[in-house]
Amino acid sequence: MHAEFSSLPVAPLQSLHLPWLDRAGLQVAVLRLDLIDPLISGNKWFKLRDHLIQAKAAGAPGLISLGGNHSNHLHALAAAGKRFGLATAGLLRGHPQDTPTVGDLQAMGMHLHWLGYGGYRARNEPGFWTPWQALYPNWYCIPEGGGGLHGAQGCALIVEQAQAQLLPALGWEDYDAWWLAAGTGTTLAGLVLAEAGKHWVHGALAVPREHGVPATVASLAGAQGYQLHDACRGGFARIDADLLAFIAETERHTGMPLEAVYTGKALMALREQVEAGQFVPGTRLIFLHTGGLQGRRGYL
């Protein structure tokens, strides 16, 4: 077992220039978590960090978690297991499918179990983990998406990385708020915990509200210091022509790749808020690029 996972690679903080931001007089920087690692990419390393530390402390021989057939979380988990010498198992939503992500999981040695849709919906019920703990004795179970308090605590370190670069990278003494996609709400909760009310955190919901993100964030970080915005555009992973056109236009302007499930929807939701006059000129925002680019293969 190696200890490298406890020391996180640093994501670069870069200025983000887009016509609609310039028209509104906003200054926006983007923290490029997509650039920290080719496989354990984006916010996933931060979310996994404290889980991996706990697994090592417990002497766990392997890691087991859940996700879909394009899951960025399972992809990063399989890569981390292979890199740090831990076996991995993935519990997948639905029925067996051959996707680029699934192929990668198999190539990285992850044991796959397909739960169907009903079986996956039971993931939050009492006793769900019992048969899997019997099948994989002493393995460390990680909540869906790397969630829970350990996931949020790892994500709190994102704030530290951004603040250390404010002056040298941007010439900023301070900033006003964060803007990021919220899938499980874990990363958002981590930022709220780290900020402790000093800077507002805006979460663009990649899932409908009834999926439970508001309750998750409240349970991890309380009810203050953040705001949630609807950004799922009709459902999780629902992709439409306007969204794809927005992503293509943004990539032409910035050279920064986005994906349509999280970062693309989050940035599009920010544009809607900016054009509705929700931010005064001179506002300084940090947009968090949470990675997930391997998932682009699922729809491109």
Question: Average pLDDT for consecutive 10-residue bins of the chain (300 residues)?
Answer: 68 97 98 95 95 96 96 96 96 96 98 97 93 97 95 97 97 98 97 98 96 95 97 92 97 97 97 97 98 86
Beta-bridge partners for 295: none
Strands (E), the chain: 13-16, 27-32, 62-67, 87-92, 111-114, 140-141, 177-182, 200-205, 226-230, 284-289
Candidates 286, 282, 259, 256; CA nearest to 270 is 286
* Tokens 């077992």 found at: 1
pLDDT score, position 5: 64
In this prediction, residue 1 carries a pLDDT of 41
**Closest C-alpha among 140, 137, 143, 139 to residue 123:** 143
